[in-house]
Amino acid sequence: MTRDEFLLEMDQILNLPAGTLRGHERLEELTNWDSTSLITFIALAETDGVCVSPSQIGTCSTVADLLHLAQVESTPS
């Protein structure tokens, strides 16, 4: 998955218009970043063959940190 694809996916998970997230956003400032979206993130990473745990997510501050955790290609668009 590319960086742009990941960001679009995060837009969907957080019910944001496509193209909203750029990666620098702080998770604590995102209104819809709650347990449901966290579970969805874990489940989607699992379907992509990547195991992430809540404690790992707990170390993330920004969307870009999640991107790194999900082992997404870091090449910007």
- Give me 28's structure tokens: 């604590």
Nearest distance, CB of residue 69 and another protein, angstroms: 14
Determine which residue in the list 2, 5, 12, 68 makes contact with another protein, applying CB under 8 A: 12
Long-range contacts of 45-49 (CB under 8 A, 24+ apart): 45/69, 45/70, 48/1
Does position 13 interact with another protein (CB under 8 A)? The reply is yes
Q: What is the contact surface with another protein in residues (CB under 8 A)?
A: 9, 12-13, 15, 35-36, 39-40, 42-44, 46-47, 51, 53-54
